Amino acid sequence: MLAEAQSAMDSANPDRGLLDQFRNGDRDAFTALYRLHHSAVFRFALNMSGDAAAAAEITQDVFVWLIRHPGKFDPDRADLGTFLAGVARKLLQRPPSPRVPLVAAA
């Protein structure tokens, strides 16, 4: 009975199963999560920043953040897409990092 309930939850929320697999070291599960959510994260960041390059960088930063903090997401509180948009929002609010100019080799 418990297994049936979990299976029903996983089919309703595929992120939960993929995230569990990713937390256990499955790189293909992370790839699947990225493919499911990267475009929505990018659109959100683009809408918030108005800059495609900044949106691409924030999208990358969101997924790097997820790699480093996979335990921070609680699937009982929200869906992963909403959570990742929140991470993107927080990253967009951080002060810009100083840019170091590249120097041409002499």
CATH number for 74: 1.10.1740.10
**31 is in which domain, residue-wise?**
10-90
Q: Let me know if residue 99 belongs to a domain.
A: no
- For residue 46, pLDDT over 50 is answered with yes
What does the pLDDT average to over 54-75? Answer: 94
User: Tokens standing for 23?
Assistant: 């937390």
Q: Which of 26, 2, 13, 11 is nearest to 83 (CA)?
A: 13
Q: Let me know if residue 102 belongs to a domain.
A: no
pLDDT bracket for residue 11 (50, 70, 90): low
Average pLDDT, the chain: 85
Measured distance CA(29)–CA(50) in Å, rounded: 31
Q: Let me know if residue 4 belongs to a domain.
A: no
Q: Classify the C-alpha dihedral 76-78-79-85 as positive or negative.
A: negative
- CA 69 centroid distance within chain: 10
The pTM of this model reads 0.77
Question: 78's torsion region: left (phi>0), alpha (psi -120 to 50) or beta?
Answer: beta
pLDDT, residue 103, reads 76
